Amino acid sequence: MNKVTNHWSNIYSMYELFKHLREERIFLSYFGSFDDSITDKFTEISEYYLESSNELNRLKNKVSFLIAESFQNIVRHGVEKGQEKKAIKNHKDFFQINVFNERIVLSTANLIAHEEIENLGKNIDKINVLNLDELRDLYNDVLENKGFSKKGGAGLGLIEMARKSGLPIKYRFNSLTETHRQFFLSLEIIDKKERNDAKININSIVDLYSILINRNCLILYKGDMSREVLLPLVEILRTNFMADGIFSPEERRTIETLIELVKNASKHGKKSNSICEGVFSITETNGSFVVECGNYIEQDKVAFFKNKLDGIKELSLKGIDDTYSKEHADNISKSPQERVGIGLLEIAKTCSNNFTYEFSETEKGETFFSIKISL
């Protein structure tokens, strides 16, 4: 994780990003609104991966519990909606999950009032020096006496986080305004036999958060580009966009574009063990969105895609509409696997042909395809 974040500021292409995240089976950073429906979607994504892993499957219930508890931590200790939260710059509530072959890392960031820092820090420090038996006793004591926290939950959530993780909670407070601080928290879930082998670096997570905030990132994902992952990710984005009660045409186009890109990657991308891995991000600038996506592509498809994209870029907007209508009609009688190129035309229509693309040859002679779309 340190290697990724230490070099993050120098990463500007999807291929560089994918290489830096090669150790993660999942890397998912999310900035925005938090509610129960989003919690469920993150749990759904994590369970999809963990159920297929012999090493991590037994941790599935722990991870699902800790995802829910992490989201509750944001709500429990964070600044509530309707306060001055929206007026504070350089902050968005944040959740991140990293899944490696042998461990899972969950990280959050939220705003807290300045007066909460001392007690919250003391409580976490107290928890971190206790073993599992002592944590159980503390949990029962807090439950019986209803003490330990002034902000609800009586500190039980933090104790349960430590009990389920089995490793110390990592945290950090960042100064933001005179009245509010950012509260970063990370948990690591690993096999019991490796209980002393913690790898979390909270400073690296904070540095990464700062870079993504400066880039106005809404979501960043690396992992399996399948329908099982796409659907919950789309619902996460839809819920985030609808947080203010408005679903704008730009937001709708952003989701539609992401769907087409992931479908294109899943259909035509190079697969390893029946999985097509890829990476995508969505960033926002002044109400406009940029969607970027990248994945390996089979060598025998490189020439086709390059010629197809070169041809699309040469078309006028009317030419794109006419070509799309013709190919759509031609594809009606074909199977989904035979319908080639229509997704690329759909993307070109959606973004008014405002996209760029690149084919990067890798050190192993493979080809990595990346595309950047402005909406």
Q: What is the mean pLDDT of residues 296-315?
A: 90
Instruction: Check residue 124 and give its pLDDT.
Output: 92
Q: pLDDT: is 75 or 261 the higher one?
A: 261
What was the pLDDT predicted at 167?
A: 86
pLDDT band, very low/low/confident/very high, at 1 (cuts 50, 70, 90)? very low
**Does residue 246 sit in the same domain as residue 198?**
yes
Structural domain count, the chain = 2
Interval 354-366 mean pLDDT: 89
pLDDT at 329 over 90: no
- The CA dihedral of 36, 42, 45, 51, to the nearest 10 degrees, is -80
Which domain, by its residues, includes 149?
Answer: 2-285
Question: Are 218 and 356 members of one domain?
Answer: no
**Is the domain of 244 the same as that of 324?**
no
Query: Does 250 score more than 80 pLDDT?
Result: yes
Count CA within 13 A, CB hemisphere, residue 49. Answer: 28
Query: How many residues appear in the chain?
Result: 375
Quick check: 80 pLDDT over 80?
Answer: no
Q: Which of 285, 311, 329 is a domain's end point?
A: 285
pLDDT for 219: 92
- Residue 158 near residue 124, CB atoms below 8 Å: yes
270/308 same-domain check: no
pLDDT tier, 116 (very low <50, low <70, confident <90, very high otherwise): confident
Q: Which of 21-25, 49-53, 89-93, 160-164 has the lowest mean pLDDT?
A: 49-53
Q: How confident is the model at residue 198 (pLDDT cuts 50, 70, 90)?
A: low
Residues 279 and 305 in one domain: no
Cβ atoms within 10 Å, residue 345: 22
Same domain, 361 and 235: no
Give the residue from 252, 285, 318 where a domain finishes.
285
130 and 56 inside one domain:
yes
Write down which residue in 246, 263, 285 finishes a domain: 285
Query: How high is the pLDDT of residue 283?
Result: 92
Q: 270 and 133: one domain?
A: yes
Q: Are residues 153 and 236 in the same domain?
A: yes
Same domain, 308 and 270: no
User: Which pLDDT value is given to residue 371?
Assistant: 93
Residue pair 170/200 in contact (Cβ under 8 Å)? The answer is yes
CB neighbour list of residue 141: distance below 8 Å, 6 or more residues apart:
none
Q: Are residues 123 and 10 in the same domain?
A: yes
More confidently predicted of 226 and 328: 226
Residues 265 and 349 in one domain: no
Please tell me the predicted confidence (pLDDT) of residue 4: 43
